Amino acid sequence: MSAPRTSSRLLLLAAASLTAVSLVGCVQNAPTTAAPTGDAIAVTADEAVAALVPAAISDSGTLRVGVNLTYSPNEFKTPEGAPTGWAIELMDAVAAKMGLEVEYSPAAFDNILPGVIGGKYDVGQGSFTDTKEREKIVDFVNYYSAGTRWAAQAGSTLDPENACGLTIAAGATTYQETNDLPARSEACVAAGKEPITILKFDTQDAITNAVVLGQADGFAADSPVTAYAVAATDGKLSLVGEQYDSAPFGFAIPKDAGTLAEAVEASVQAIIDDGSYTAILEKWGVQDGAVAEAGINGAIF
């Protein structure tokens, strides 16, 4: 299948915009936790959905997906190296509704959106938070709602709203590290209190271990990731505070991809309607972020 043509102007805009965009919803981690057992959720093709797929993709029978496999439980690798995670299962179901097979191409998070824009991938997947800045360069099909959640050692009295003077771990270049925690720290200083020390790590495993070992008082990450990490510690950590800053996750689609965004949106809605969407989320224990309707470009901030 030939790659979509992309104007040099769009590529220049993309490069500038990507530099400015905070990397919300991405942590470089090589998870060691196990995936849920059980059969894959069966999904059948939908002729009405398939009719929306651009001819070049439909004729190839394959949906090329660039994916960051470092973010359990959303997208990560099995011990054998195969893609897994609840968002991987959702993408498999979305493609099945369109009558397509998925060809996953593992990629660094920073390279996925440029690959989508340049025609290397039909879809970009990496637990992307749909933001207004990112919508300038790609379209997003929204499929889930996630926010920020904190965790600390079991029995801790840590309060995210009163963390001045504490050490909080976060993934390097995530929304939590670049936006949320710095803003909270600045508020501490403005109130005459000690700043928050932000301890940055490249992997979620390292973030979790820092709290378990007492190197950090707590950590902040995307809500499903925090919940999954806490569950994997067998009681060493617990959730603290409430979820906040909820926003939609989205599959990234090129702006010049014809009706592909509409096809993916219709497919997400189809798996919501037939119950396979809920079954996948419940299998992984992440149903709290379920949405009732798919959408396109639903950024909140």
Q: Span 241-247, mean pLDDT?
A: 93
Q: Which of residues 120 and 175 earns the better pLDDT score?
A: 120
Q: By percentage, how much of the chain surpasses pLDDT 70? A: 88
Partners of 71 in beta bridges: 75
In angstroms, rounded to a whole number, what is the distance separating the alpha carbons of residues 12 and 59? 31
The distance in angstroms from the start CA to the end CA of the chain is 35
In the chain, domain spans: 8-146+246-296, 148-245
* C-alpha closest to that of 71 among 218, 224, 183: 224
pLDDT band at 34 (very low <50, low <70, confident <90, very high): low
Q: Is the dihedral of CA 280, 282, 285, 290 positive or negative?
A: positive
In angstroms, rounded to a whole number, what is the distance separating the alpha carbons of residues 280 and 298? 23
Quick check: do 8-146+246-296 and 148-245 share a fold? yes
pLDDT at 186 over 70: yes
Q: Is the dihedral of CA 235, 236, 242, 243 positive or negative?
A: negative
Least confident of 10-24, 60-74, 123-137, 282-296: 10-24
The pLDDT value recorded for residue 16 is 42
* C-alpha closest to that of 221 among 196, 234, 236, 239: 239
Phi and psi, residue 207, nearest 5°:
-60, -50
DSSP states of the chain as a string? Answer: -PPPP--HHHHHHHHHHHHHS--TT-------SPPPPSPPPP----HHHHTTS-HHHHHHTEEEEEE---BTTTBEE-TTS-EESHHHHHHHHHHHHTT-EEEEEE--HHHHHHHHHTTS-SEEEEEEE--TTGGGTSEEEEEEEEEEEEEEETT----GGG-TT-EEEEETTSHIIIIIHHHHHHHHHHTTSPPPEEEEESSHHHHHHHHHTTSSSEEEEEHHHHHHHHHTTTTSEEEEEEEEEEEEEEEEE-TTSTTHHHHHHHHHHHHHHHSHHHHHHHHHT-GGG--SS-EES----
Stated pTM of the model: 0.80
Rg (the chain; Cα; Å): 19
Residues 6+ apart with CB under 8 A from 64: 1, 103, 105, 120, 121, 122, 123
Q: What is the mean pLDDT of the chain?
A: 88
Q: What CATH number labels 8-146+246-296?
A: 3.40.190.10
Least confident of 21-35, 139-153, 213-227: 21-35
The pLDDT value recorded for residue 129 is 86
Q: Span 255-273, mean pLDDT?
A: 98
The top-level CATH class assigned to 148-245 is alpha beta
The pLDDT value recorded for residue 149 is 96
